[in-house]
Amino acid sequence: MYKIKSNLILKCSFVCLLAAALAFLCLSVGFAQTTQIFRTYKTGVTARIPQTPEAIAAGKAIYEKRCYYCHGIKGDGNGPAAPRLDPKPRNFTRNEYKIRSTELGTLPTDEDLFRIITSGVEGTAMPFWSTLSSEERWQVIYYVKTFYEGFKESEAHEVVPISGEIPSDSESVKRGKELFKEAKCLLCHGEDGRADGQITTTLKGKWNFPYKARNLTKSWLFKGGNTTKDIYRTVTTGINETPMGTYADFLTDEDRWHLTHYVKTLSHDMNTEVVLKSKLVEGDLPEGPDGAAWDTVSSIEMPLAGQIVARPRLWIPSVNSIRIKSMYNKEDIVFLLEWDDKTNEQDETYSDAVALQFPTKIPEGMKKPYFAMGESGKSVTIWHWRAYDEFKQTEKNENGGNTEAATDGGSSVAEHEESEEQEEEKIAEEKPKEKFKGFATIKEMNAKGFKNLAEQPSNSQHSKSKSYWKNGKWKVMITRPLMTDDKKIDIQFETGKLIPYALAAWDGSNSEIGGQKSISSWYYLVLEITTPRSVYLYVLIAIIMGVSIQFWVIGRIRRFPPKITTEE
Amino acid sequence: MGKKKNSYSMILVIISILVVFVIIKYIAPYVFMIVLAKDHTMPTPSTLILWYMILAILGALVYVSTSDLKWAKFLSFILPAGDDKTKAILQKMIIVAFPVLVGWFVYSGTAPGTASPVELRIQHPTLLQEFEKLENPFAHVNEETKKRYIEEGKILYQQNCRPCHGSKADGNGPFANAFRLRPINFTDPGTIATVVESFAFWRIRDGGPGLPGASTPWDSAMPSWKDTLNDEQIWKIIMGEYVTAGVVARQREKIEH
């Protein structure tokens, strides 16, 4: 009787302990996952089926069920969905096939088409069609080829060999960098590969489509793959009917490998994290977007989508991702936002801009305000930086002091009052100005829905910015005191809490303004705190408890060894 | 008791639990990728891992305690190892590993977390009363018209829904990555195939802002389309959407007949 009881206790404690332990383990695993899927270029090709009239007919049926919405019923790239696409869908009635293993100007091989249909193209609307059986894919290819006469005339397209790959090393990359200049790659792709080269905005293809040079810093957007072999192939075969020609005659095979290795070093992968950690620093925060301290924190990158939640929608956004870093000290928090924009053209109406959005009050539970500018009863704070405004402000500040003094005494009462107000502001701003020299005040706003947006009064504008644009990239540093006096309209940053934030970006040269912007959904910001000592105490207690329970169990079993009955 | 009686059943139990964990955590994503013909691995949700692991542990413990003999053998591993050196090493490993694991769990549970919060989404909020009785006005048109409306709906789908839900209605549109809660994959039999058409109508018309206050957070980025699309267009989109996804809507149970 006693034995059974002790067995039961043992069993129960075992089950409970292990279950609890594993529960913890599982809960700590795999939360911070994001669910990004990038289409990658796959080179595998399955055995082809014979090209028969039946196969073409079957291909036609599939095409008219799945493909024509973009590529058009006649294959002219003018389907009903095409106006909302950028880049535009491929026109099959002429040879503008871009990703090929064949020489520049020639048609792609069937295998090239198979690879593209199977892989899809990241950065465009083309999905991966590996969901169709390989037979179906071949049928579609045979049908697509009927749109262009050229496919009937020339039979064999020779595949340009990709061979003699040399290993990548610093020497090779260095040579590649020289070649990048020599071969004038940077005229379009830009010095740092951000597609901001001198002639990049004037680029046109043969049929007058605006053509964008590839941004070589975003590895996931390389058309036709981002492996060294893929890049080498693109440099060698060029892209039909675009300014990207072949470099096979201009550079030797070996040089093209050097160039490939250099291009590869320009690119980075998207590193998205759900939680942005703001690092605690003792003492001063970086004094500008180029402050050395920024190098000590790593950035995370958020993908952005066009704002299509409410009118006016933006179907073809320009900014597709933004990088963000943050740190804070006892008084202020700073953010560094970086994104690629190939032009720096600002005017009063259309200006490059970026916005950070927080809930006005850090939500206690999981329920956050609506991610797109809040909702009634749940307001959000928005810090809206505009390149044009900052430029105007810094211009004023630089030659401002004297003019203000001149107008100080005179003019009407109203103006006088205004200047008094301004002066008061000045006094209030005096302190932070010493800290963040040369920073401009940015617009703080509150929103309770798309149509309910209000600018904060001028004496509650606490965030400041400093920025610059170089080689196709904006670097904007934004700062605000952790706490402000306007507790009702400003977010108060608290350490250790998950604070939702969202991002928006506008590209002035793409005529983006107001609701026409790129947006993200909510992510989280955490002001990191050093691990409190109590944690280690808990751990110690837990270990001691674990050890004692363990030895108690062992001791108990050893004292009353379970009888192993040999028979049965 | 001689050397021969030494039983390693406790080690076997631990190993099999680890094997189950490895399968669920690392192998299942690839298996499901192949089985469901996906282009990406399908990571097992952590809550699911938790329940599978609890089941695995309980199963193992139930197994070892099915008879007194098995239970005794299971526990006998804790008895002095004698001159069995492997057993002695394994015992030491367990003795060290157990407190370390406990400590680690406590640490990861109490240290200031930077792990993102669990975000649950109830995919099927309760349908509002006013939509309950709604019928697709095009449900009983003749075949010819129906075909035309489906095609019109597919075009509207490709124009308006495609950026997020994708050309194939698989939730992989070009904008999909930007949303923390990925747009719904309609080809998944657990999504639009399980709801009636009027439910889809409600979701398209009122979108995320129209979700009921109960069981929040929804965190849905679904737009409310009533600002641009009229009811007829929405019904057509629904018809086209189901065809594009290759699933059919749940039929409302007929109370009479």
Contact indicator for A357, A304 with CB cutoff of 8 Å: no
Contacts of A529 in chain B (CB under 8 A): 112
Q: Tokens for A109?
A: 């091989």
Query: What is the Cβ-side half-sphere exposure of residue A141, based on CA atoms within 13 angstroms?
Result: 25
Contact indicator for A342, A483 with CB cutoff of 8 Å: no
Sorted by sequence, the CB contacts under 8 Å of residue A314 that are 6+ apart come out as A306, A307, A308, A512, A515, A516, A517, A518
Residue A115 neighbours by CB distance under 10 Å: 21
Would you identify the CATH topology of the domain A53-153?
Cytochrome Bc1 Complex; Chain D, domain 2 (1.10.760)
Long-range contacts of A128-131 (CB under 8 A, 24+ apart): A128/A39, A128/B39, A128/B172, A129/A66, A130/A42, A130/B37, A130/B39, A131/B37, A131/B168, A131/B170
Contact indicator for B239, B161 with CB cutoff of 8 Å: no
Of A455, A303, A316, the closest CA to residue A384 belongs to: A455
Name the pLDDT band for B257 (thresholds 50, 70, 90).
Answer: very low
Task: Give the CATH architecture of domain A170-266.
Answer: Orthogonal Bundle (1.10)
Q: Is B2 helix (H, G, I), strand (E, B) or coil?
A: coil
Is the pLDDT at B51 greater than 90? The verdict is no
Q: Tokens for A327?
A: 């740190």
The residue in chain B having the minimum alpha-carbon distance to the alpha carbon of residue A306 is B175
* A275-398+421-527 carries CATH number 2.60.40.1190: yes
What is the rounded distance in angstroms from the CA atom of residue A285 to the CA atom of residue A334? Answer: 8
If residue A259 lies in a helix (H) or strand (E), which one and from where to where?
Answer: helix A253-266
Contacts of B37 in chain A (CB under 8 A): 130-131
Q: Which of A37, A126, A218, A271 to mutate to test the interface with B (most CBs of B within 10 A)?
A: A37
> Which is higher by pLDDT, B2 or B243?
B243
A-contacting residues in B 205-244 (Cβ below 8 Å) = 207-209, 216-217, 219, 221, 223-224, 227-228
The residues pairing with A276 across neighbouring beta strands, listed in sequence order, are: A525
> Which is higher by pLDDT, B112 or A519?
A519
* Amino acid in position A304: L
Quick check: B158 and A79 CB within 8 A?
A: yes
Residue A438 neighbours by CB distance under 10 Å: 12
Domains A53-153 and A170-266 share a fold: yes
Quick check: A131 and B5 CB within 8 A?
A: no
Quick check: B39 and A30 CB within 8 A?
A: no
Give the gap in angstroms from C-alpha A343 to the nearest C-alpha of chain B. 23
Give the gap in angstroms from C-alpha B1 to the nearest C-alpha of chain A. 9
Comparing CB atoms, the residue among B37, B40, B109 nearest residue A131 is: B37
pLDDT on residue A394: 87
Residue A417 neighbours by CB distance under 10 Å: 10
Kindly list the distances between the CA atom of residue B92 and the CA atoms of A15, A17, A453, A521, A559, in Å, as whole numbers in the listed order: 21, 19, 65, 50, 19
Residue spans per domain, chain A: 53-153, 170-266, 275-398+421-527
Contact indicator for A285, A329 with CB cutoff of 8 Å: yes
Residue A487 neighbours by CB distance under 10 Å: 11
B-contacting residues in A 363-422 (Cβ below 8 Å) = 365-368, 370-372, 375
pLDDT on residue A433: 47
Quick check: A558 and B80 CB within 8 A?
A: yes
Contacts of A274 in chain B (CB under 8 A): 116, 180
Q: Tokens for A220?
A: 């996931």
Of A50, A61, A46, the closest CA to residue A140 belongs to: A61
Domains annotated on chain B, with CATH: 3-79 (no CATH), 129-245 (1.10.760.10)
- Strand runs labelled E in A473-536: 473-481, 498-506, 518-519, 523-527
**Which DSSP string do the residues of A438-488 spell out, in sequence order?**
T-EE-EEEEESSTT-EEEPPGGG---EEEEEEETTEEEEEEEEESS-S-TT
Quick check: A546 and B99 CB within 8 A?
A: yes
Comparing CB atoms, the residue among A27, A305, A310 nearest residue B179 is: A305
Q: Is A519 helix (H, G, I), strand (E, B) or coil?
A: strand
Give the gap in angstroms from C-alpha A381 to the nearest C-alpha of chain B. 18
pLDDT on residue B72: 84
Backbone angles phi, psi at A101, to 5 degrees: -100, 5
pLDDT on residue A23: 55
Q: Tokens for A302?
A: 């958020």
Quick check: B98 and A496 CB within 8 A?
A: no
* Amino acid in position A469: W
pLDDT on residue A27: 47
pLDDT on residue A420: 45
A-contacting residues in B 90-129 (Cβ below 8 Å) = 95, 98-103, 105-112, 114-119
Residue A57 neighbours by CB distance under 10 Å: 12
Q: Does A528 touch chain B (CB under 8 A)?
A: yes
Give the pLDDT confidence of B53-106 residue by residue, as tens digits: 888 888 988 888 888 888 888 888 888 877 788 888 888 888 888 888 888 878
pLDDT on residue A405: 40
Contacts of A32 in chain B (CB under 8 A): 114-116
What is the rounded distance in angstroms from the CA atom of residue B17 to the CA atom of residue B97? Answer: 15
Give the gap in angstroms from C-alpha B178 to the nearest C-alpha of chain A. 5
Percent of chain A with pLDDT over 90: 55
What is the rounded distance in angstroms from the CA atom of residue A91 to the CA atom of residue B51? Answer: 51
Contact indicator for A172, A261 with CB cutoff of 8 Å: yes
Instruction: Count contacts between A and B (CB, < 8 Å).
Output: 241
Quick check: A535 and B107 CB within 8 A?
A: yes
A-contacting residues in B 125-184 (Cβ below 8 Å) = 154-155, 158-159, 162-164, 166-168, 170, 172-182
Percent of chain B with pLDDT over 70: 88
Give the pLDDT confidence of B166-194 residue by residue, as tens digits: 999 999 999 999 988 888 899 988 889 88
Q: Does A554 touch chain B (CB under 8 A)?
A: yes
A-contacting residues in B 179-208 (Cβ below 8 Å) = 179-182, 207-208
According to DSSP, the β-strands at A300-303 and A321-328 are antiparallel
B-contacting residues in A 238-297 (Cβ below 8 Å) = 274-275, 277
The residue in chain B having the minimum alpha-carbon distance to the alpha carbon of residue A310 is B223
pLDDT on residue B189: 85
Kindly list the distances between the CA atom of residue A449 and the CA atoms of A202, A374, A375, A466, B209, in Å, as whole numbers in the listed order: 39, 5, 4, 28, 10
What is the rounded distance in angstroms from the CA atom of residue B196 to the CA atom of residue B121? Answer: 19
Q: What number is the ipTM of this complex?
A: 0.82
Q: Does A454 touch chain B (CB under 8 A)?
A: no
The alpha carbon dihedral of A358, A360, A366, A367 has a sign of: negative
Mean pLDDT of chain B: 84
Comparing CB atoms, the residue among B61, B71, B166 nearest residue A562 is: B71
Q: Tokens for A207?
A: 């049929």
pLDDT average, residue stretch B212-225: 82
What is the rounded distance in angstroms from the CA atom of residue B200 to the CA atom of residue A125? Answer: 24
Residues in chain A, pLDDT under 50: 1-2, 26-33, 402-433, 567-568
Q: Is A304 helix (H, G, I), strand (E, B) or coil?
A: coil
Sorted by sequence, the CB contacts under 8 Å of residue A30 that are 6+ apart come out as B43, B46, B49
What is the rounded distance in angstroms from the CA atom of residue B124 to the CA atom of residue A8? Answer: 43
> Which is higher by pLDDT, A471 or B2?
A471
* Amino acid in position A25: L
